[in-house]
Amino acid sequence: MVKYENEIAQYLRSTNNHVRYRVTPIFTNTDLVPYVIHLQAKSIEDKQINFNVLIPNIQTGITIDYSTGEATKE
């Protein structure tokens, strides 16, 4: 996710243009922690920024229990 956030930040600093940006967490059933983040962004004045991505909520070496929010080292 940092890759996309940095791309947007750099674009905003260098152009002073606007970006429409939406982040939606996606849950299953009664989970407390989202298993995926839906990230969308589009620059308003031009077409330099335009993405629509699903980012899995995972981390190497960590097991996440999405129903409780507990994370443990593998």
The helix/strand/coil state of 68 is coil
Q: pTM of whole model > 0.95?
A: no
List, in sequence order, every residue forming a beta bridge with 38; answer none if it has no partner. 24, 54
Domain that holds residue 69: 2-73
3-state DSSP helix/strand/coil % of the chain, to nearest 5 = 20, 45, 40
Number of domain units in the chain = 1
Burial of 49 (0-12, 13-18, 19+ CB in 10 A): buried
- Could you count the other beta carbons within 10 Å of the beta carbon of residue 71? 12
Q: Over the stretch 11-57, which tens digit does the pLDDT of each residue have? A: 999 999 999 999 999 999 999 999 999 999 999 999 999 999 999 99
